[in-house]
A and B are shown apart, each in its own frame.
Chain A
Amino acid sequence: MDEQDKLILLKKLLLTEENEFAQSIAKKVEELNTIVHKKNELSNKVDPIIDDKLEEFVKEIPKTLGPTITEALKEEIKNSQDAVVDALFPIIGKMIKKYIAHEMKLLSENISNRTKSAFSFKKWLRNTKAKASGVKSGDMAISDYGKPKLIQMFVIEKESGLLIAEYSPLSQGTIDKEMIAGMLTAIKSFVEDAFQGGDQNLEMIEYELHTIHIQNFYSYYIAAVIAGSYSMMFKEILEDQILDFAQHHISRKDLEDSTLFTKKLKKHFADDIV
Chain B
Amino acid sequence: MTSSKKVVLLGHFGVGKTSLFRRFIDNAFSEDYKVTLGVQIKKKVVELPNGKELSMIIWDTEGHTDIEDTRKSYLLGSHAFIYVFDSTREETYKNINEDLAYLTNIHSKVLIKVIGNKIDLIKEKTAKDQLKALNINVDCFTSAKTNKNVHEFFLDLANELTS
Contacts and interface: CB of A to CB of B under 8 A. Distances in A.
B76 A178 contact: no
A160 B41 contact: no
Nearest to B79: A160
B111 interface: no
B42 interface: yes
B71 A162 contact: no
Contacts of B74: 186, 189
A160 B76 contact: yes
Contacts of A162: 4, 6, 57, 77
Interface in A142-162: 157-162
A179 interface: yes
B81 interface: no
A183 interface: yes
A193 interface: yes
B91 to A, nearest CB: 27
Contacts of B42: 179
**Could you say which interface size class chain B belongs to?**
10 to 19
B127 to A, nearest CB: 33
A182 B1 contact: no
A108 interface: no
B1 A186 contact: no
Majority DSSP secondary structure for residues of A touching B: helix
B6 A178 contact: no
A179 B43 contact: yes
B24 interface: no
Contacts of B76: 159-160, 189
Interface in A225-274: 258-259
A217 to B, nearest CB: 15
Interface string B1-23: 10010100000000000000000
Contacts of B1: 258-259
Interface in B12-41: 38-39, 41
B78 interface: yes
A189 B76 CA distance: 10
Contacts of A259: 1
Contacts of B73: 159, 189-190, 192-193
B158 to A, nearest CB: 15
Interface in A176-201: 176, 178-179, 182-183, 186, 189-190, 192-193
A260 B10 CA distance: 34
B71 A182 contact: no
Nearest to A182: B41
A178 B71 contact: no
Nearest to A162: B4
Complex A-B, nearest 5 residue pairs according to Cβ-Cβ distance, in ascending order: A160-B77, A159-B77, A189-B73, A159-B76, A182-B41
30 contacts: A157-B77, A158-B77, A159-B73, A159-B77, A160-B77, A160-B78, A161-B6, A161-B41, A161-B57, A162-B57, A176-B43, A178-B4, A178-B55, A179-B41, A179-B42, A179-B43, A182-B6, A182-B43, A182-B57, A182-B59, A183-B41, A186-B38, A186-B41, A186-B59, A189-B73, A189-B76, A190-B71, A190-B73, A193-B71, A258-B1
